[in-house]
Amino acid sequence: MKHGIFSKVVVLKGELRSEYYSLWHSLIEDFNPVGPFEDGLVEMLAVTRWHQRRLLIAEGAEIRAEREFMEFDQEQKQLNEAGVRYAPDRRNTGLICKISSLENLAECLAFLRLLKSSVRGQGLPNPVADAIMSRLYGELDGTHFVPRLYLVYLISAQAATIPEHLRKPGSSPEDFKKDFLTVVDSEMDAIIATQAKRSLIEANRMDVEFLRRSLPDSARLDQLMRYGATLDRTFDRTLNQLERTQRIRRASRSRRQSA
């Protein structure tokens, strides 16, 4: 076996020569070749079977390449999309308007939690809340619809600055703060619900993509199938030739023994 015709070239770097020899030895045990011609045919069977094994591994690698890099590619796309919101020369580019990814949703939720904590501790208005509202909703230029939370914030912040003797009953700064925090909670609940829905959609989409990518693309699949068909024909021809040779040898030996 150490001096087989293909023993030096059939095993590529990264493949185990011991596995190839084990396959070859098992075929020798199955067919019990006699003479160099039958030995060569059995070796050809081993080589062809080894190539078929390599084909299956290559097909698996094609599928893995599609599946394992799909999530990475998607994350990179989301990061690129998220980067648009940092453009300094664009107006009305608030984060809340760019919730195209779970990452953006999580960031919005984090800002709302910070807003809630700031208003609870410092009341209305306060610089931290002002900065967060601008970060979430962008700049107001009079041409865009003002979101509910931002509108409530503007009204509540302005009302909280009214002198006490001019306020109506039940309209203290603490009352405005509570009303605003209620709206913040509502906005947070909406984002959490959106997160859950988007997570489910993304999971389902990923499952569908996994099913779609259970085979390589058409060009690679066609190439692999043609190569596989060639290997199958080579194996069948070699096997038929080996079986025919062994039948002839056995028949010839039987005739000699009868004579």
Do the beta carbons of residue 157 and residue 124 sit within 8 Å?
yes
The sign of the torsion formed by the CA atoms of 15, 16, 17, 21 equals negative
How many whole angstroms separate alpha carbon 1 and alpha carbon 5? 9
| Most confidently predicted of 70-74, 147-151, 244-248 | 244-248
41: pLDDT strictly greater than 90:
yes
Least confident of 31-45, 70-84, 212-226: 70-84
Which parts of the chain fold into alpha helices (H)? 17-31, 35-83, 102-122, 127-137, 148-159, 173-212, 218-258
pLDDT at residue 105 in the model: 82
Do the beta carbons of residue 33 and residue 41 sit within 8 Å?
yes
How many whole angstroms separate alpha carbon 215 and alpha carbon 58? 11
pLDDT at residue 91 in the model: 43
246: pLDDT strictly greater than 70:
yes
- Hey, is 115 helix, strand or coil? helix
Do the beta carbons of residue 91 and residue 139 sit within 8 Å?
yes
Percentage of the chain lying above the pLDDT 90 cut: 27
Chain-centre distance for alpha carbon 136: 29
pTM: 0.45
The arithmetic mean of pLDDT across residues 202-224, rounded, is 65
Mean pLDDT taken over the chain: 78
The residue among 1 and 144 whose pLDDT is bigger is: 144
